[in-house]
Amino acid sequence: MRSRLILWVLAIALLVALPPVMTAIGQTFYIDLVRRIMILAIAAVSLNLILGYGGLVSFGHAAYLGIGAYSVGILAFYGFTNGWLQWAVAIGASALVALAIGAVSIRTSGVYFIMITLAFTQMLYYLGISLEEFGGDDGMRLKAKSQFAGLIDLREPITFYYLALVLMLASVYLVYRIVNSRFGVVLRAAKSNEARTRAIGFPPYPYRLAAFVMAGAMCGLAGALYANHTNYIVPGLMSWQHSGDLMFMVILGGMASTAGPVLGAFAFIFTEEFLKVLLNWVAPIFGKRDWAEYWAILMGPVLVLSVIFFRRGLAGIFYKPDA
């Protein structure tokens, strides 16, 4: 417990120190990169609530990133730039969609659950493509970043960075509290042994559905942040590949662990960036100019190896999983 706390303090200190250090050495690219990672980490943390603790293998979690991002984009398009409003809509809309998808899909299990969550997300993906008014396939530019009347200015990259950091830590703490509460214990119990859980008097369905909605809402917030980060909203955000990326972050980092999804998000994106640089570096040797887009081909084996070598994910290196 003590050593975990020290690790957390060290990691947070590192993240707090990053912007001034990177500014000083002129590497502001990294501020941007880490900010993106922290936003995706929120999405991964929310997925961990249902995937890691709830045992619900949702293969469509990127849907809520998309809903959150489109909520912000569409409101801004119509001139509603108030951040409180935008983010509340992003969270609310994601929660509602999660409620609808969850109500249907949680009645199934195993492969059916995976396929249904995937199918719903594909529907939303094609819905995004069909929205000609909002750019269709090409997506839409965010007209203006979310505005918080003098309180926070998201146009300031470093301010935005610290906001993302605070929200990421808040999401980690929130999920930590939830999974250790009475509610969370039932959620985990239903994953561990469903028959026993029913036999002592808990029907798993409402617990799972509630967790599914909370995870969707939290991921919707990540989507709102993501729209402000990229200034551009594309349907691709909801693609199945993106859902897969989020799942890998959770699995790579360590399912059902507090820090796992955050570690997974960092490891995943850093590896991705590293592979891109590597590919661009070796490409000229073979007389090619740009190979960066082939990073995914190398990512596959890296993920397979990491799952083989780190059974309990990266978090397992630091400590045992919670009981």
Partner 1 sequence: MLEVRGLTKAFGALRACDGIDFEVREGETHAVIGPNGAGTTTFISQLAGNLLPDSGSVHFAGSDVTRLPAPQRARMGLARSFQITSVYPDFTALDNVALAVQARSGRTGFWKAARGDASLVEPAKQALQAVGLGERTHVFAANLSHGEQRQLEVAMALATEPRLLLLDEPMAGMGTEESQRMITLLSRLKQTKTIILVEHDMDAVFRLADRISVLVYGRVIATDTPERIRANTEVRKAYLGED
Dihedral (CA of 224, 230, 231, 233) sign: negative
CA–chain centroid gap for 52, Å, is 13
Stretch near partner 1 under the rule CB under 8 A, chosen from 29-37, 48-56, 188-196, 240-248: 188-196
Q: How many residues sit in the footprint of partner 1 (CB under 8 A)?
A: 22
Q: Which of 203, 270, 277, 290 binds partner 1 (CB under 8 A)?
A: 203
Taken in order 40, 38, 225, 207, the sign of the CA dihedral is: positive
Compute φ and ψ for 140, nearest 5 degrees.
-130, 150
The helix-helix angle for 111-130 and 62-77 (nearest 10°) equals 20
CB of 214 to partner 1, least distance (A): 8
Least gap, CB of 43 to partner 1 (angstroms):
20
- Three-state DSSP at 79 gives coil
CB 181 to partner 1: min, Å: 5
With contacts defined by CB under 8 A, name the span among 55-63, 85-93, 187-195, 302-310 that binds partner 1: 187-195
Q: Out of 182, 289, 301, 308, point to the residue binding partner 1 (CB under 8 A).
A: 182
Q: If you write DSSP's letter for every residue of 102-139 in order, what string do you get?
A: HHHHTTS-THHHHHHHHHHHHHHHHHHHH-GGGTGGG-
198 forms part of the interface with partner 1 (CB under 8 A)? yes
Asked if 196 is part of the footprint of partner 1 (rule: CB under 8 A), the reply reads yes
- Sole binder of partner 1 in the list 99, 115, 185, 299 (CB under 8 A): 185
**Closer to partner 1 by Cβ: residue 30 or 205:** 205
The answer to whether 193 contacts partner 1 (rule: CB under 8 A) is: yes
CA–CA distance, 309 with 323 (Å, rounded to integer): 22
In DSSP notation, 205-246 reads HHHHHHHHHHHHHHHHHHHHHHHHHHSEE-GGGGSHHHHHHH
Q: Is 240 in the site for partner 1 (CB under 8 A)?
A: no
Shorter beta-carbon distance to partner 1: residue 167 or 178: 178
Tell me the β-bridge partners of 233: 140
130: Cα within 13 Å, side-chain hemisphere: 6
- Give yes or no for residue 285 binding partner 1 (CB under 8 A): no
| Residue 5 makes contact with partner 1 by CB under 8 A | no
Number of C-beta neighbours around residue 273 at 10 A? 16
- Choose the stretch contacting partner 1; rule: CB under 8 A; options: 4-12, 55-63, 76-84, 193-201: 193-201
Which 150-179 residues touch partner 1, going by CB under 8 A?
177-178
Q: Which of 181, 288, 290, 297 binds partner 1 (CB under 8 A)?
A: 181
* Strand, helix or coil for residue 141: strand
- Of the candidate spans 52-60, 83-91, 107-115, 185-193, the one that interacts with partner 1 by CB under 8 A turns out to be 185-193
Residues that bind partner 1 (CB under 8 A): 177-178, 180-186, 189, 192-193, 195-203, 323
